[in-house]
Each structure stands twice: as C-alpha cells, then as structure tokens.
Amino acid sequence: MSDVLKMIQELEERLFASHGDPLANYKKTQHDVHMSYYVGRLMEERGHKYITPKDKDCVYYSEKAIHDAFLAGQLLAKWDARELRKKIVAELKEEMHAAIANF
C-alpha cells in the first residue's frame, strides 16, 4: 500500500474512532427524505453522473459527488444555524424593547 493510501486509511480510522457512527441510532424524518431528493437534484445540477446497477434499487456516485453532497449539507446546516440565531436575536430584542417600554 502506498504511503498516501496509508495516510488516508489512518485519517479515516482516527476520524471514525473520534466521531463513531452518528447515524447508528438516528430515526429518519420526512425532512430527511426531502433533503435526499434535494441533494440528488443538486448532484444532477452540478453534473455528477451515477451508475445504477442491474437488479438493484440504488445508485452509485463518485467520491467527488459524495464530497460535494457532504459540503452542501455542511453549508446548509450553517445557513440554518445562522437563520435560527437571527430569529432568536430578533425575539430577544422584541422582549427587551417590550420590557423597557413597560418599565
């Protein structure tokens, strides 16, 4: 095995030892299903092709497509978190203004 492949394997092992399997006990929601379709569309829009094996109900994407899907998930999560923070701050400001007005 080449040095690069050994380094990649060691990295994978360290990350898995550190993070484990976050999907192991996760119960999928309808939102998860919708986002799966969204990511499929995103991969199509970005020009990623897939292979559909005969007699199987699945598709296989390239490693590049998996990286893009993972990055898209991270970026969407950051956007969701930012929007949630904005909403919380706006609600706190309203509460503060109301408290000051009633003081």
Phi, psi of 38 (to 5 degrees): -60, -45
* Interacting residues of 45 by C-beta distance below 8 A, sequence separation 6+: none
Condensed to tens digits (0 to 9), the pLDDT of residues 24-44 reads 999 999 999 999 999 989 999
pLDDT in tens, 48-73: 999 999 999 888 999 999 999 999 99
Q: What is the pLDDT of residue 2?
A: 84
Mean pLDDT of 5-16: 93
pLDDT of 1 > 80? The answer is no
The pTM (predicted TM-score) of the whole model is 0.68
DSSP reduced 3-state for 3 = helix
d(CA 82, CA 74): 12
Q: Give the Cα separation of 29 and 71 in Å (integer).
A: 21
Looking only at the bridges linking them, the beta strands covering 60-61 and 50-51 are: antiparallel
